[in-house]
Amino acid sequence: MVRKATRPLVFLFTLLALLVFSGCRSSNRIPWPAATERTYRGFRVVEEPGLSPQTVQDTLDRAADWRTEIEAAFFPAAAGHTIGLVIYATAQSYRSNAHFHLDTLAHYERAENRIHITLKAPSGTWRHELAHALLEQVRANSPYWLHEGLAFLVMESDLRGSLACSSRPVVRLPAMLYPGLSALRAREQLNTTAIFDADQQTIYGSEALLVSAYFTLFLWKRQLLGDTLRRYQQEPGSSFDMLMVGSNLTARAALIADFEAWVRATDPAAAVPGC
Ligand SMILES: [Zn+2]
């Protein structure tokens, strides 16, 4: 049986797959054997031969600035870590190397610690993949829901400001998520708890991705995100969804109930101050 909401959600997830995070199939997949890797402003860079050096330089400088912003807000422990970048000239050359089922614009390859991306990918795409890479620097093998929630949160947000909450940056989710939220709200159940254990297939093949993004925004709104992230980075072995409620399952259930009430009532395009 096909539910009414299935069709718009399928469309949504096709869009979201443009930003996929890859956690398996490790291999060193630089497609230009003659290209040499160089280091620049915290990145190990390999680029497709023939690209304009000036355009590459400008893009790397912008990427370094975005990284600084995201790192300062959420991942200070990633400072000094080097992140790999494989830069493709065109979407076509990228796709010839990225073996996904759906067309993609970029991905972070966890096993290589490399972002694969086209030179002219939009800023939101760069920021999304940088968030994956930075989270992986500070806590390897973090859960998929946290990876995607943070990656969507940083795409179009202004994170400059202080996480001490006195000077509050404002975050918002990208517009591509708004129709999905409307469809999701028509459901009787949101199954928020299921996101915490969702594997790669579940995250990308279902609404768990959307729930993860809005749940992360909710944590930000409740001023739980920054502080929990800091402790999550300081305490190896801790579980994020337990840390955020002091390991109290009753408190976690109450937080989720609050989230589900909020997500049904909130404007999908809401911009939220928080920390
Ligand atoms: Zn992603």
Q: How confident is the model at residue 1 (pLDDT cuts 50, 70, 90)?
A: very low
pLDDT in tens, 105-114: 899 999 999 9
CA of 136 to the centre of ligand 1 (A): 12
Judged against a pLDDT cut of 80, whether residue 169 lies above it is answered with: no
CA of 154 to the centre of ligand 1 (A): 11
Q: Do 219 and 35 touch, CB atoms closer than 8 A?
A: no
CA of 110 to the centre of ligand 1 (A): 11
Above pLDDT 90, what percent of the chain?
63
CA of 250 to the centre of ligand 1 (A): 30
Architecture of the domain spanning 6-273: Orthogonal Bundle (1.10)
CA of 87 to the centre of ligand 1 (A): 17
pTM: 0.89
For 92-106, give the DSSP string.
Answer: HHHHHH---SS--SE
Over the range 217-235, which residues count as b (16 or more CB within 10 Å of their CB) and which as e? Answer: bbbbbbebbbebbbebbee
So what's the pLDDT on residue 3? 38
Above pLDDT 70, what percent of the chain?
85
So what's the pLDDT on residue 11? 45
Judged against a pLDDT cut of 50, whether residue 220 lies above it is answered with: yes
What is the Cα–Cα distance from 212 to 151, expressed in whole angstroms?
10
CA of 243 to the centre of ligand 1 (A): 23
CA of 208 to the centre of ligand 1 (A): 13
So what's the pLDDT on residue 22? 66
What is the Cα–Cα distance from 40 to 8, expressed in whole angstroms?
42
CA of 23 to the centre of ligand 1 (A): 10
Average pLDDT of the chain?
A: 87
CA of 138 to the centre of ligand 1 (A): 17
So what's the pLDDT on residue 102? 60
Mean pLDDT of 55-76: 96
CA of 45 to the centre of ligand 1 (A): 20
CA of 223 to the centre of ligand 1 (A): 23
- More confident: 4 or 109: 109
For 128, the token pair is 């999304």
pLDDT in tens, 14-35: 455 456 666 555 455 788 988 8
Mean pLDDT of 135-144: 96
- Which amino acid is located at 67 in the chain? R
Mean pLDDT of 190-205: 90
So what's the pLDDT on residue 115? 95
CA distances from 167 to 26, 65, 73 (A): 41, 20, 12
So what's the pLDDT on residue 232? 96
CA distances from 229 to 27, 73, 130, 207 (A): 30, 10, 16, 24
Mean pLDDT of 59-82: 95
CA of 132 to the centre of ligand 1 (A): 7
Judged against a pLDDT cut of 90, whether residue 83 lies above it is answered with: yes
